[in-house]
Amino acid sequence: MNAEKLQGFLFHHGEKFVVFVVMAASGYMVWAGLGIESIKDKYQPDQLTSDAQQVLASIDEDHTAAVVDERRPDNDIVVDTMKNKTPVNPSPYKLKHLLERKSIQVTIPRQDPLLAAPRAVIASGHLTTIAGLSTSGSYKLADLEGAEALEVVETQPVRRPPRRSRRNMMMGMEEDMMMMEEEMMMEDEMMDMDMMDMSMTTTAAGRPFAPDGDLGMRPMGDGKKQPVPRLGWFIAGRALLPHGDVIASFRDSFLDADGFNGMRDQPMYYDYQVQRADITDKSVDQLQEADWVDRNNRLDDLFRAYSKWAGFAPELVPEDYRDDNITTYVPPVLLDDYTAFSLHPDIPMTSVREQEMEAARELPVEEAITRDNVELAGPGAVGGLGMGGMDYEMDFGMEEDMGMGMDEMMGMGGMGMAFGAMMPNALTRDAVENKLLRFFDFVVPSDKSSPMPRRSYVYRIRYGLIDPNFPVNQTQQPKVSTLSDDVYKRIRLLMEQSEKDNKRVLSVRWSDWSEPSEPASLPWLTNYYVGPVDRGRSQPSEVRGRPVEFTRKPPKAKVANVTFNPGYLGRMPHWMDVTAGSVLAFKGEAEIIDPIALAVKKLPEAQMNSASTVIDFDGGRELKIVEDEVSTLREPGVMLLFDENGGLRVRDEREDQRMYRIYSFSKERGL
């Protein structure tokens, strides 16, 4: 039988086969049931009722006699009760001196202070000239020919005096005479100042640059080397170090701890670290840890400052709000105002003592000096820490860089301990809320990781201080018994490493990283400052019955276009007239300022390749006080431009006035 026939047989006879199986199973179950023993053969109802009645009667019977012997107690309850009422003999527990005071030693273990992260990081790009050192003292800009004197622009104001009555005429003449005398006195003073400025100006070849336009510092040589201009293209950063929070953490960790030492147990800032991340092609949220690049620390900045700079710009931040180990020195900026990148808006410009004196001046006279607020001082004391007015500061890096070892710097033997005992500690005084962290990321041609133009960066910073639980001076090491368990585990590893290297390990405690700054970029080589606007001359006319303005003289504005020349390391100012659509570019002979000699030189075939374009400007309207007066007062000008990066910029004559007058040589032109 093949498969097809078998399949056909099952298809036609399958139901019959199933019915046969069901019938066979039913027959087997009937046959098996007939052979089971009946329940009546084993259990009878009458017999079950009789057994239940017997069990119920057995439960109701008295079984006491059977369990009395097992439950009878072995002890006498009355005897045991009387025994428990007997008093205990107190003599073994009695103290010999019941009221004697016992001394209990309570110590607080030393902890590691928590260091709050820096905050409010500000970054901004700048382009300037800084003073460097050179053995020869020669530089490319010094060899240029001096510029000629400028032609004075004749601008005589035309005034029409208002009509006066005969009664007021004499009074008006007296007022005019007084005004003329005041103007003559002012002119004499200005001439004296000009003569003084000219006498202070260098005698180098070239037209002298007005000293009042020098907003930077004056460099000085060190005897062996002379100052020369150097490129200062950098991104500057400022941040707040939460000094008040650090002091509070030190108080919680050490002030009440065992073995507190005034000299050792206070914040001694030692270093800072700066990292940068490129966000030109990504957002800050997309940054990974690998995107952050190390840029600055204290030792690198000190080496650059002492080996390449010709001095430092005068510090503007009060001493109370900075620390030499974390507040980087301001570069020796030439000609330019450096306040923009050396200050922080949350750092006061006055010292704590000046603030206290100002607050005392505002008090009523009877409350200004009382027995509670007067401070007694011995001869020669001028405040501070009671040590001749000299605040105690330790600049670890300076002594180390000058060859003094850390152990020598921190003290000899037990002298530091004794000195700390008699010296007031920073934890016991009111602390300023913040100190200034400052850093500079310079463009260095030889450094491939230097910031690049047209790139956008963010910065973060952290600070470090000397570990108070493992000081550099071994004689000031706290006892192991005074340390907490966590601190001891950490210090033990440092001790083992010091013994292995036969040299004291420098332990620096670091804060967390700050939040990233706002994006910053390097500025381009050109800048411009808006001057006065001339609205031109127009004449109303009528065309086909409609009024129109016919422009006889198109409006124009003055602009001081200033380009930084990277080859000569000087600024090239160009005074130019612009109209709507003008491009702030120039090619030809230009003037360039020598920042070292404060002289204006002549640069042939100069180029100012700015792509900034003037879109439109407004202002220049005549401001009249009296209707019939021709006034020289004009409404300040406002200019809208496309900058070289394609962005819109608005420049205001009021904001640019100072820089415009400097780089347009307004004083020399008689304007």
The pLDDT value recorded for residue 73 is: 75
The pLDDT value recorded for residue 11 is: 74
Q: What are phi and psi of 19, to 5 degrees?
A: -60, -40
Q: Are 304 and 328 in contact (CB under 8 A)?
A: no
Sign of the torsion formed by the C-alpha atoms of 234, 140, 216 and 214 = negative
The pLDDT value recorded for residue 205 is: 62
The pLDDT value recorded for residue 412 is: 35
Quick one: pLDDT band at residue 106, thresholds 50, 70, 90? low
C-alpha distances in angstroms, 264 versus 249, 424, 475, 631?
15, 11, 11, 70
Angle 633-149-127 from CA coordinates, rounded to 5°: 75
Enclosing H/E stretch for 129: strand 119-134
Tokens (6 digits) for 537: 């001359």
Higher pLDDT, 418 or 582: 582
Quick one: pLDDT band at residue 75, thresholds 50, 70, 90? confident
Quick one: pLDDT band at residue 391, thresholds 50, 70, 90? very low
CA pair distance 493, 507, nearest whole angstrom:
11
Higher pLDDT, 155 or 482: 482
| Nearest residue to 216 via CA among 205, 227, 204, 203 | 227
- Tens of pLDDT, residues 362-390: 766 555 444 444 443 333 333 333 333 33
The pLDDT value recorded for residue 123 is: 96
Higher pLDDT, 218 or 41: 218
Q: Which residues pair with 543 in a beta bridge?
A: 546
The pLDDT value recorded for residue 342 is: 93
Check residue 518 and report its DSSP letter: P
3-state secondary structure of 520: strand
Enclosing H/E stretch for 604: strand 599-608
Percent of the chain residues past pLDDT 90, beyond the cut: 36
Asked whether residue 201 carries a pLDDT value surpassing 70, the answer given is no
- Stated pTM of the model: 0.68
Higher pLDDT, 452 or 220: 452
As a three-state string, the secondary structure of 635-659 is: CCCEEEEECCCCCEEEEEHHHHHHH
Q: Are 305 and 130 in contact (CB under 8 A)?
A: no
Asked whether residue 409 carries a pLDDT value surpassing 80, the answer given is no
CA pair distance 268, 252, nearest whole angstrom:
17
Burial group, residue 238, by CB count within 10 angstroms (0-12, 13-18, 19+): buried
- Tens of pLDDT, residues 318-359: 999 999 899 999 999 999 999 989 999 999 988 888 888 888
Quick one: pLDDT band at residue 430, thresholds 50, 70, 90? confident
Asked whether residue 37 carries a pLDDT value surpassing 50, the answer given is yes
Which of 184-198, 251-265, 380-394 has the lowest average pLDDT? 380-394
The pLDDT value recorded for residue 108 is: 85
The mean predicted confidence, pLDDT, of the chain is: 80
The pLDDT value recorded for residue 240 is: 96
The pLDDT value recorded for residue 215 is: 92
Asked whether residue 501 carries a pLDDT value surpassing 80, the answer given is yes
Higher pLDDT, 509 or 2: 509
Higher pLDDT, 427 or 572: 572
Q: What is the rounded average pLDDT of the residues 103-107?
A: 61
Q: Which residues pair with 272 in a beta bridge?
A: 463
Q: What is the rounded average pLDDT of the residues 636-645?
A: 87
Which of 63-77, 219-233, 490-504 has the lowest average pLDDT? 63-77
Taking the alpha carbons at both ends of the chain, their separation in whole angstroms is 126
Q: Which residues pair with 234 in a beta bridge?
A: 126, 442
Give the pairing type, strands 333-334 and 226-241.
Answer: unpaired
Quick one: pLDDT band at residue 418, thresholds 50, 70, 90? very low
C-alpha distances in angstroms, 401 versus 18, 215, 309, 325?
106, 32, 16, 12
Cα 581 versus chain centre, distance:
41
Percent of the chain residues past pLDDT 70, beyond the cut: 80
Higher pLDDT, 550 or 164: 550
C-beta atoms surrounding 249 within 10 Å: 18
Quick one: pLDDT band at residue 195, thresholds 50, 70, 90? very low
Asked whether residue 655 carries a pLDDT value surpassing 60, the answer given is yes
3-state secondary structure of 212: helix
| Nearest residue to 121 via CA among 306, 275, 337, 333 | 275
DSSP string, 484-499: -HHHHHHHHHHHHHHH
Tokens (6 digits) for 463: 């600070």
The pLDDT value recorded for residue 436 is: 95
Based on DSSP, count helices (H) and strands (E) in the chain, helices before strands: 16, 20
Q: Are 639 and 530 in contact (CB under 8 A)?
A: yes
- Tens of pLDDT, residues 256-301: 888 888 888 889 999 999 999 999 999 999 999 999 999 989 998 9
The pLDDT value recorded for residue 154 is: 64
Higher pLDDT, 6 or 668: 668
The pLDDT value recorded for residue 243 is: 93
The pLDDT value recorded for residue 423 is: 42
Q: Helix, strand, coil proportions of the chain in percent (round to 5)? A: 35, 25, 45
Enclosing H/E stretch for 576: strand 570-578
- Tens of pLDDT, residues 139-175: 999 889 888 888 887 654 544 444 444 444 444 444 5
